[in-house]
């Protein structure tokens, strides 16, 4: 249930409807001043919107104007006047907008906080001001609309049950893990004997391919298209019968011999990884240049020592099994926890602050754009994306992520689950190592920008999910 576990490839996929889990932004019980990229006056959820009217008496307004004007008199440097001796009338004339803005910020902020405290309200969004009237010598009046957190009733959460997965590592799964290690250390060697290619061999080939034009409707004028460069390759290795080898290549190469030339067509699936070839039919001229075989190291103590700090091959196998079992356990239990939280989301219905939803959409899009940039997308191409459509595509999942976070926050409160300072310090230490930033420098920066508190919040949600899983899983 941790957004931080999402890979960059998955992040790119977030620009389509995708899956994640919990909310990433902090939501303190006060007005925020975050700079979100959605519309300046975001729509508020009517069920959670509150509006207050605020008035400040004329004397207080005048006093604030005088205070700000005096400050400008001390600091202003205007030709013809000594510093600190600029007349009040000149200040009011030259800096009228600036003075008014400072008065506004001072009085609105102060009186807004005072009003919500008196009415025991806890905004979770920037207040949207309307009917604002401010003039020296007159009362200040304005209305402020904002969202509050919903009341969440999680009565009966203890009755939610999720199946506890069998996390035992099977012999077959261990064999796959071991083969993965062997594949990483195997070498491809020439086959000296004169024989035909069989499954498991590696064919070294030279090829030239041309993308075939789609068949045209009878009577249709052929469309003029720029000539495409042929697809070529030399000394390319292809595993015959390999799981990642297209069947057209397997069928053509299986049973062939060195020096043999062949021509065949390959139709690539629509979801093929290389966009240039996806959905295309390519005619290939192929020559088999050599037959090779993958050779693996002997499974002995010497090879184990090469793999790491292992005394014997048996020692390596034992630790490999433990690590593989741990990964399987984590993966299956994370999946089960996700199912548990999904049940919470479906069972407990409540309105969701639109502010939170927009923040989460922002976070998902930002991760997706970073991933696309890392994959090579140019900024000018990003600017052509339909962001309105992309935001809408992220909405349903973002709503669920917000709901998951609010529910976990509520359950953490009920269960009394907190992250200790030691736990936070360990997480911060690991983050500093990964970022190659001095620990105390990172701590100071994250404390100042609020991200340390967000880290604590996210860790609390993860801890809550783990505690509840252990409690509710059967």
DSSP annotation string for 299-347 = -SHHHHHHHSS-SSHHHHHHHHHHHHHHHHHHHHHHHHHHHHHHHHHHH
Contact 429, 419 (CB under 8 A): no
Shared domain check, 242 and 176: no
**Are 260 and 313 within one domain?**
no
Whether 162 and 73 share a structural domain:
no
Q: Which two three-digit tokens encode residue 358?
A: 């927009």
Tell me: do 362 and 412 sit in the same domain: yes
User: Residue 213: its pLDDT value, please?
Assistant: 80
118 with 191, same domain: the answer is: no
Pair (275, 373) in one structural domain: no
Whole-prediction pTM value?
Answer: 0.72
Does residue 21 fall inside a structural domain?
A: yes
> Is residue 35 situated within a structural domain?
no
Q: Half-sphere exposure of residue 44, counting CA atoms within 13 Å on the CB side?
A: 21
Residue ending a domain, among 273, 295, 317, is 295
- DSSP β-ladder status, 202-211 and 128-133: unpaired
- Residues of the chain with confidence (pLDDT) below 70: 1-42, 214-227
pLDDT for the residue 13: 40
CB atoms within 10 A of CB 249: 21
CA 293 to chain centre: 41
118-150 pLDDT, tens digit per residue, is 999 999 999 999 999 999 999 999 999 999 999
Domain of residue 60: give its range: 49-147
Contact 232/208 with Cβ under 8 angstroms? yes
* Residue 244 in domain: yes
Whether 348 is covered by a domain: the verdict is yes
What is the pLDDT, as a whole number, of residue 6? Answer: 37
Same domain? For 455 and 353 the reply is yes
Residue 336 belongs to a domain with what CATH number? Answer: 1.10.3120.10
Tell me, yes or no, whether 177 and 307 share the same domain.
yes
Query: What pLDDT score does 259 carry?
Result: 94
Q: What is the DSSP code string of 145-198?
A: EEEBPPP---TTGGG--BPPP--PPPHHHHHHHHHHHHHHH-EEEE--S-----
Q: Quick check: is 323 in a domain?
A: yes
Residue 63 inside a domain? The answer is yes
Please tell me the total count of domains within the chain.
4
| 322 and 341 housed in the same domain | no
> What is the predicted pLDDT for the residue at 42?
67
Residue 141, domain CATH: 3.30.70.1050
Both 90 and 127 in one domain: the answer is yes
Instruction: Give the closest residue to 249 by CA, choosing from 232, 269, 263, 260.
Output: 263
Assess if residue 291 is contained within a domain.
yes
CA dist 257 and 260 (Å) reads 6
For the segment 80-90, what is each residue's pLDDT rounded down to a tens digit?
Answer: 787 777 888 88
Q: How much of the chain is helix, strand and coil, in % rounded to 5?
A: 50, 15, 35
């Amino acid at each position: 249930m941790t957004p931080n576990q999402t890979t960059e490839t998955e992040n790119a996929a977030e620009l389509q409807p995708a899956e994640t889990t919990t909310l990433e932004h902090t939501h303190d019980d006060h007005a925020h001043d975050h700079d979100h990229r959605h519309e300046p006056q975001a729509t508020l959820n009517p069920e959670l919107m509150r509006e207050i009217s605020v008035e400040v008496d004329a004397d207080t307004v005048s006093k604030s104007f005088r205070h700000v004007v005096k400050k400008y008199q001390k600091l202003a440097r205007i030709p013809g006047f000594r510093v600190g001796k600029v007349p009040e009338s000149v200040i009011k004339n030259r800096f009228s907008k600036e003075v008014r803005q400072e008065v506004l910020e001072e009085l609105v902020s102060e009186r807004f906080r005072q009003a919500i405290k008196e009415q025991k309200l806890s905004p979770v969004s920037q207040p949207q001001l309307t009917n604002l009237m401010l003039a020296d010598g007159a009362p200040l009046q304005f209305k402020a609309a904002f969202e509050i957190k919903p009341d969440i009733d999680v009565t009966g959460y203890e009755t939610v049950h999720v199946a506890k997965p069998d996390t035992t590592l099977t012999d077959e799964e261990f064999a796959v893990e071991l083969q993965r290690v062997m594949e990483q250390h195997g070498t491809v060697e020439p086959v000296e004997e004169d024989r035909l290619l069989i499954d498991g061999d590696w064919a070294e080939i030279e090829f030239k391919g041309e993308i075939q034009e789609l068949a045209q409707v009878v009577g249709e004028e052929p469309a003029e298209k720029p000539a495409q460069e042929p697809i070529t390759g030399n000394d390319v290795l292809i595993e015959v019968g390999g799981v990642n080898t297209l069947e057209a290549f397997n069928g053509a190469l299986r049973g062939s011999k060195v020096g043999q030339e062949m021509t065949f067509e390959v139709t690539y699936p629509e979801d093929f990884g290389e966009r240039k070839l996806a959905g295309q039919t390519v005619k290939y001229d192929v020559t088999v240049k050599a037959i090779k075989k993958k050779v693996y190291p002997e499974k002995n103590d010497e090879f184990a020592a090469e793999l790491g700090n292992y005394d014997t091959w048996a020692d390596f196998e034992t630790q490999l099994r433990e690590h593989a079992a741990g990964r399987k356990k984590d993966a299956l239990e994370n999946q089960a926890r996700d199912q548990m939280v999904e049940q919470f989301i479906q069972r407990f219905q409540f309105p969701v602050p639109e502010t939170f939803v927009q923040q989460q959409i922002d976070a998902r899009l930002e991760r997706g754009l970073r991933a696309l940039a890392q994959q090579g997308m140019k900024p000018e191409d990003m600017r052509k994306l339909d962001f309105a459509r992309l935001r809408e595509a992220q909405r349903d999942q973002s709503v669920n992520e917000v709901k998951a976070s609010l529910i976990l926050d509520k359950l953490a409160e009920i269960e009394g689950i907190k992250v200790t300072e030691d736990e936070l310090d360990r997480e911060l230490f690991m983050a500093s190592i990964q970022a190659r930033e001095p620990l105390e420098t990172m701590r100071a920066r994250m404390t100042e920008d609020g991200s340390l508190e967000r880290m604590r919040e996210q860790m609390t949600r993860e801890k809550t999910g783990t505690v509840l899983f252990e409690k509710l899983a059967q």
